[in-house]
Amino acid sequence: MELLTTDIELIMKLIISTILGLIIGIERELKKKLLALKTSLVISIISCLITIVSIESAYTFPASSATEIRMDPLRLAAQIVSGIGFLGAGVILRRDNNRISGLTTAAMIWGAAGIGIAVGAGFYVEAIAGVLLLMISVEIIPLIISKIGPKKLLKKEVKVKIVVKKMESIETTIKNLEKKQYVISNLRVKEFLDDQAHMLEVKMKINRHIYVTDVYTSIKKMDDVLKVEIIS
C-alpha cells in the first residue's frame, strides 16, 4: 500500500510538470518561436523524471545494500542545467542585420528545465509560482513598459537601405530622417551602380508603435530617393 502511494505521488509530479511545461510551450507556440509545444513538454517532463530518479535512487540503493553508500540526491538533476545549455545555444541566431534573436526562447528552455526539477524535487507551490511569474514577466510586464515605460524602451531599431540619385542628396536625406524624429545610431555610405547614385545603410530607432510600412512610405516619398529597403 505504501509503495502504491509513492508511485501515485511520483506520477502526480510528472502530471504537474506536464501541465506547467504545457503553459510555457503554449506561450512560445502562440508567438511562433523556436521553442515549440512538444519541445517544452519533453524538457519539462524529462527534467522532472531525471530529478525523481536522482532523488529516489539516492535513498533506495543505499538501503538495499549491505555497505553504506552515501549519494547526492540531486547528482543527476545537477547535470540537467548544464546539459540544457546545448539546446539553448541551438535556438540563438544571428540575423543579417547583426541582431541576436532567440535569447528569450533559450531562457524559456532553461526555465522549463528548472520547473521540471522543482516539481521533481517536490516543490509544487514554488514551481507553480515560478510559472505564473514567468508568464507575467514575458507577457504582461513588457506590455506595461511599452505603454508607460521610459522613452528609450518605447523605440525599436530598424536597418534601412536607401538609394539616392546623387551624392548631394545624402545630406538632405539624413536631415529629412531626423526631422521625422528617427534616431540614427549608425550610418554607412557607398556608391551604387554608378558615380552619381549612392546607397545609405542606416541603423535607426523609431517609435515602437509606428508600422514599418509607414516608415517605408515616408522615406520613399522623399526627394531624390530611388529605392528603399527596411529590415526590422
pLDDT at 211 over 80: yes
Q: Are residues 97 and 161 in the same domain?
A: no
Q: Which of 104, 126, 148 finishes a domain?
A: 148
Q: What is the pLDDT of residues 10-54, one digit of tens each?
A: 889 999 999 999 998 888 888 777 667 888 888 999 999 988 888
- Structural domains counted in the chain: 2
Tell the burial category of 130 from Cβ atoms under 10 Å away from its Cβ (0-12, 13-18, 19+): middle
Mean pLDDT of 97-109: 75
Q: What is the pLDDT of residue 70?
A: 65
C-alpha cell at 133: 511569474
Residues 6+ apart with CB under 8 A from 22: 37, 40, 41
pLDDT bucket at 187, cuts 50 / 70 / 90 = confident
Same domain, 114 and 183: no
pLDDT per residue over 213-228, tens digit each? Answer: 888 888 888 888 888 8
pLDDT at res. 196? 77
Looking at the fold, whether 178 and 108 belong to one and the same domain comes out as: no
Range of the domain at 106: 2-148
- In this structure, the answer to whether residues 169 and 104 fall within a common structural domain is no
